[in-house]
Every structure is written in structure tokens, then in C-alpha cells.
Amino acid sequence: MSAQELIATAKAMVAEGKGLLAMDESTPTCSKRFEKVGIPQTEEARRSYREMILTTPGLGEFISGVILYDETIRQSRKDGTPFVKVITDAGIIPGIKVDTGAKDMAGHPREKITEGLDGLRDRLAEYSQMGARFAKWRAVITIADGIPSRGCIEANAHALARYAALCQEAGLVPVVEPEVLMDGGHTLERCCEVTEEVLRTVFSQLYTQRVTLEGMILKPNMVLPGKDCPKQDSVEEVADATVTCLLRAVPAAVLGIAFLSGGQSGELASARLNAMNVRFKSRLPWALAFSFARAIQQPALEIWQGEEAHLLAAQQALYHRARCNRAARRGEYNTAMERT
């Protein structure tokens, strides 16, 4: 696989008006979300839910790629068509989550280190053979009193860079996801400081591990006040802080930045992405896109509830959020769209 092919895939992943749909919840995470809305936590329910998402008519108008989980990439539609074929037939690129989760970090209470490097070369070869064209690895950084530590930031950045190098060797575009969580009472300014330090460390490690920046996608958090912070900044303040931070820390060679939603509502995630594109579009070196899970799926999940009778309404809700995010990419989103 040449660098040119990697770059072509990365470009397609952030093509104009499009973004990624993350549907790679691990089985425990998926079970938690199902339990909350009363859906049985079975393999068949997960398959059926993912079939509802992937068969949404017109999804490919807004979604360039979907991120799958190991269980899902091996599953099929009820009629026997493999999901990977359903996805490519819809003009969407299949991707795969390859980390094996964030675990407690030794010597670093309250902090996490993401695992999954052992055997990764072989797993990437298998996923590539199954049709995946890109991969995802998520690192988790927590803000609280005295953390994040330098040790946690460096270890996670190093793992992200080793993963990214292995992906490019296998011909898969790495989605590099260092997530600074919005849990806690910290301010927007503190999130900005931590996010900048994390991104600078990640790009230093990517350079050391010889990752081609044009052949990867960055998936960062938006710069936000903590969920419990008494001061919740405006959409414009969030947009300005996020883009200022990214301009300081992300090299212009990167083609695209696709945000995670991190627990924001669908409407807020769209409004904030929109404000960034409205206020900065002419001065951005990279595309600003989305790679949302909850901010695209949540309304559809709540409507679906595991019932065949709710399928169409759930698909309409999913289509609607994906369409709102295309508008946000273009700087054309407004809250009136939520009433259509």
C-alpha cells in the first residue's frame, strides 16, 4: 500500500460535507446504553441495532466512513449480506476499533492507559483482509486535582504513535483519538491547557514513530468546560477556544480533524462544530469534521428500543442528525433545522 493510497483514503474520510459515524461501542459499553433504554443485552440485539443503523436509506450522503467493533465487522444483515458489503454498497468506508480498552495505569491512581499493541500487526492484517480501510485507537485523559500526569500523557501518546505506525504499515489510515474527558468541574481554560499539552505530545510521538501526517486523521475532543463546571461557556467561546488550541498544536500537514462528541447533546455538538466552521473556515489548514457516536446515535437508540415497529422512525432520527452535521461542516447549521 503506497502513501498515495493512504492519503486518498484519508481525504475520502473527510470529504466535503461528510464525516464519520462511530458505532464501535465495545460490548460492555453497548450493554450499558441498551440497559438504560430497556433493550436486552444480547448479541442478536446488538446485531439488529447495527443493521438498523447501516440500512438507513441515504446514510452515505453524509457519512464517509463507519467505525465498527470486532463483533460487528464479523456480522451480517438478517438476509445474510455481510455488514462490510452493506457498508461498501452504500458508498461508505468500513473502519475498525483496534484498541482493547483503557485500563487503570500502574503507579498512576485515577489515570488510564489504553492497551492493545501486542499482536496488533496480525489483527490489522486480518481486518484489512476483511475490508477495513481505516482503524481507531482511543486514549483517555482525565482532568482532576493533580492530573493528568506527564507519565500518563506520554505513555498514551507513545501507544497512539506505535498504533498509528502499524496501521500505516498495514495500509490502514489511523484515526488517532486522544480524548480529554469532559467529566469534572474544570474550566474551559483548564481543558484548553491540557488538550494543548496532550496534542503537542501526541504529534511529537507521531513524528518520532515516523507516521505520515497526511495519511492519518486526528479525532480530538472539543475544548469544553467540565460537565460540572458552574460556568458553561457559549457556543462561540467553545468554538474559539477549540480552534485556537488546535491551531497551536496540530501541524498543517494533517488533512482532517474529526471531533468526538464525548457526551454532549447532538444539538450542541452540531452547533459548536458549525460555529467553528463559520468563524474560522477561511483560515483552517485542515478540514473540521465529525466522528460522533452518541451525538448521532442517541435519539435513534431511544426511539428504536429494539422494536421492529420503530425501525423507520429510528432511521429517520439517525438520518436527521447526520444531515445536521453535514450542515455544521459547511457552516450552514441552525437550530431551525431541528424542527424540520
Q: Determine the interface stretch with ligand 13P among 120-128, 244-252, 258-266, 323-331 (rule: CB under 6 A).
A: 258-266
Element (H, E) at 109: strand 108-114
Residue closer to ligand 13P, measured from CB, 89 or 228: 228
Of the residues 56, 114, 242, 261, which one makes contact with ligand 13P according to CB under 6 A: 261
Residue 186 or 321 having the CB closest to ligand 13P = 321
Q: How far is the CB of 289 from ligand 13P (least distance, A)?
A: 13
Give me the least distance between CB of 177 and ligand 13P, in Å please: 6
Nearer to ligand 13P by Cβ, of 19 and 171: the residue is 19
Residue 135 near residue 173 (C-beta atoms within 8 A): yes
C-alpha cell recorded at residue 102: 483503557
With CA atoms as reference, report the closest residue to 285 among 317, 327, 254.
Answer: 254
DSSP readout, 157-186?
Answer: HHHHHHHHHHHHHHT-EEEEEEEE---SS-
- Give 213's DSSP letter: G
Decide: is 22 part of the binding site for ligand 13P (CB under 6 A): yes
CB closer to ligand 13P out of 69 and 83: 69
Q: For residues 165-194, which are near ligand 13P according to CB under 6 A?
A: 177
Angle, helices 27-37 vs 294-304, to 10°: value is 50
Active site residue 177: yes
Figure out which of the listed residues 293, 322, 324, 327 binds ligand 13P, where binding follows CB under 6 A: 293
CB proximity list for 135: less than 8 A, separation 6 or greater: 95, 96, 97, 98, 124, 127, 163, 167, 172, 173, 174, 175
Q: What angle do CA 300, 90, 265 make, to 5 degrees?
A: 25
CB of 25 to ligand 13P, least distance (A): 8
For residue 41, the minimal CB distance to ligand 13P (Å) is 18
Smallest distance from the beta carbon of 2 to ligand 13P, in angstroms?
A: 28
Answer for which of 226, 262, 266, 299 binds ligand 13P (CB under 6 A) is 262
> Considering the rule CB under 6 A, would residue 292 count as an interface residue with ligand 13P?
yes
Q: Which of residues 126-145 bind ligand 13P (CB under 6 A)?
A: 138
Gap between the Cα atoms of 284 and 174, Å rounded: 21
Identify the active-site residue in 25, 177, 179, 196: 177
CB-nearer residue toward ligand 13P: 47 or 138? 138
What φ, ψ does residue 269 adopt, rounded to 5°? -60, -40
Q: Taking Cα atoms as reference points, which of 270, 173, 181, 275 lies closest to residue 234?
A: 275
By the criterion CB under 6 A, which residues form the site for ligand 13P?
Answer: 22, 138, 177, 260-262, 292-295
Q: Which residues are catalytic?
A: 177, 219
